[in-house]
Amino acid sequence: MTTTSRWRARCADDGEFQLTSRYWTGALQFDLGPETVTLELRDGLLVDPPDPSADDGIQSMRGAVVIQAPDDVWDRILAEIPPPQYNDIIAAQKFGLRIRGDSETFWQYYPAIRRAVEILRDVRLEAAV
């Protein structure tokens, strides 16, 4: 099972993510260097599978948020215990993390995005064991 499919499954089963992403129609994409993981949502429910044609233009999609960062920044964000200022994507912006797409959606669904990062951290740590 790929990182994307494990991450999607964990987000779909996570009560906190479901609660904080309710009513979200759009997408969340993390560009992790060599890997990109994407969730597409309709009214807070994950679309399975996400529309592959949307990947190229996801930044222009209404309700879409794309988060990009250099590999070393993602390594620190997704560490078991992130170093100071890497524990949150807001603070990590000063190290090169970029937030693209619909800024209103980002702030409206920030708790869901933050939870998605935490879930991705768990998925990556489990894969490393």
pLDDT digits (tens, 9 = 90+) for 29-53: 999 988 899 999 999 999 976 555 5
Nearest to 11 by CA among 46, 42, 37, 36: 46
> Average of pLDDT values for 106-129?
93
The pLDDT tens digits of the residues spanning 9-19 come to 999 999 999 99
* Residue pointed to by tokens 């970029």: 98
Can you give the residue range of the structural domain that contains 81?
3-128
Residue 77 dihedral angles phi and psi, to the nearest 5°: -60, -40
- Maximum distance among all Cα pairs of the chain, rounded to whole angstroms: 37
Does the pLDDT value for residue 108 go beyond 70? yes
Supply the CATH number for residue 7's domain: 3.30.1050.10
Nearest to 35 by CA among 80, 3, 1: 3
Q: How many domains does the chain have?
A: 1
Q: pLDDT-based confidence at 76, cuts 50/70/90?
A: very high
